[in-house]
Amino acid sequence: MLGVRHPLIQAGMVWCTGAELAVAVGRAGGLGTLGAGSMYPDELIHEIQKVKAVWGGPFAVNVPLLYPAVEEHMATIVRERVPVVFTSAGSPRKWTQYLKESGAVVIHVVSSAVFARKAVDAGVDAVVAEGFEAGGHNGREETTTLCLVPEVVDAVDVPVIAAGGLHDARSLLAALALGASGVQMGSRFVMTRENPAHAAFKRRIAEAQAGETRLMLKDVTPVRLLRGEEGGFFDQVAAAEERGDDVNALRSLLGRGRAKQGMRMGDLKEGELEIGQVSALLNDLPGAGELVERIVSEYRAFGTQGMSPGFDWEGLHAPQ
């Protein structure tokens, strides 16, 4: 469906994607994604054209539907004939048919079987089932990937892509065993050389210990954050939530621009640091292509051909 050699997707992520990363993943046989959620309309056009100038294979754009530039982004996606589109954080009803008419494969990110069924009713080609462990914005249900993936697999008849807490060959094997057709990894790809995230953010991730991320701001938009410097944004949100501050107070504490400040500009105190629980396991910084190759070769070394029903590694060939 995606035209890729490996069922491995580099996730769309605000402030943490770009053409260089998407092309490196694509060349290694995975699917690279541009995260449009943090891009101005001109920037998205520029990044798509940069990808297309050097890479003739499949790539994707991720559009969180709650962002202001959605209409412009969708027009760009259709005009530029982007082959795969991930939508998230909103109803897939409005845009799915429009995107599909342009020939795009449309995939919606869900956090429950109920949302998965709604996405299928809206006509999506596949869904990403993203569990509680994941970095970035998250569902309110708090369902972990291990519980969510089989529930969604049983609920819908389109391919399910597992996401949340997945970072290596073991997690790929586990996701396929749960019935997923592929995996989407976000946090793992923040920790790659081509990722445009700030070096200070990457260093902080390398040092992160288990328990240092938390799903916060559930009353505003739930997001998994990594603890930054003492007394900084993370501690302020934790204190505000403990006091029971209302939504307006939390919104004004969040303010604007903190995600860029943290992840792109490296302000570990006042910035917002979005990363998944799996950050506790990430402490190297490979090239993105090398990472894809490593995961695939380690997967093959399991010698598990036949363990994942419906998935035939050797039978897959890139169409291009």
Ligand X SMILES: Cc1cc2nc3c(=O)[nH]c(=O)nc-3n(C[C@H](O)[C@H](O)[C@H](O)COP(=O)(O)O)c2cc1C
Q: Which residue, 3 or 196, is less far from ligand X as judged by CB?
A: 196
Q: How far is the CB of 115 from ligand X (least distance, A)?
A: 13
Of 118, 90, 109, 100, residue with least CA distance to 160: 109
Q: How far is the CB of 166 from ligand X (least distance, A)?
A: 6
Q: What sign does the CA torsion over 119, 94, 102, 28 have?
A: negative
- Judge whether 187 and 194 are in contact, CB under 8 Å: no
Reduce the DSSP state of residue 251 to 3 states and report it: helix
Q: How far is the CB of 175 from ligand X (least distance, A)?
A: 11
Q: Choose which of 10, 111, 184, 308 interacts with ligand X (CB under 6 A).
A: 184
Reduce the DSSP state of residue 108 to 3 states and report it: strand
Q: How far is the CB of 279 from ligand X (least distance, A)?
A: 8
Q: Choose which of 20, 47, 125, 130 interacts with ligand X (CB under 6 A).
A: 130
Q: How far is the CB of 145 from ligand X (least distance, A)?
A: 8
Give the interface segment with ligand X, choosing from 110-118, 161-169, 174-182, 287-295 (CB under 6 A).
Answer: 161-169
Distances (CA, A) of 228 to 55, 147, 159, 283: 37, 30, 37, 17
Q: Choose which of 2, 4, 8, 13 interacts with ligand X (CB under 6 A).
A: 13
Q: Would you report the helix, strand and coil content of the chain in percent, each value rounded to 5?
A: 40, 15, 45
Q: How far is CA 148 from the centre of its chain?
A: 16
Residue 30 near ligand X by CB under 6 A = no
Binding residues for ligand X (CB under 6 A): 11-14, 16, 35, 37, 62, 64, 88, 109, 130, 133-136, 163-166, 184-188, 190, 263, 274-276, 278
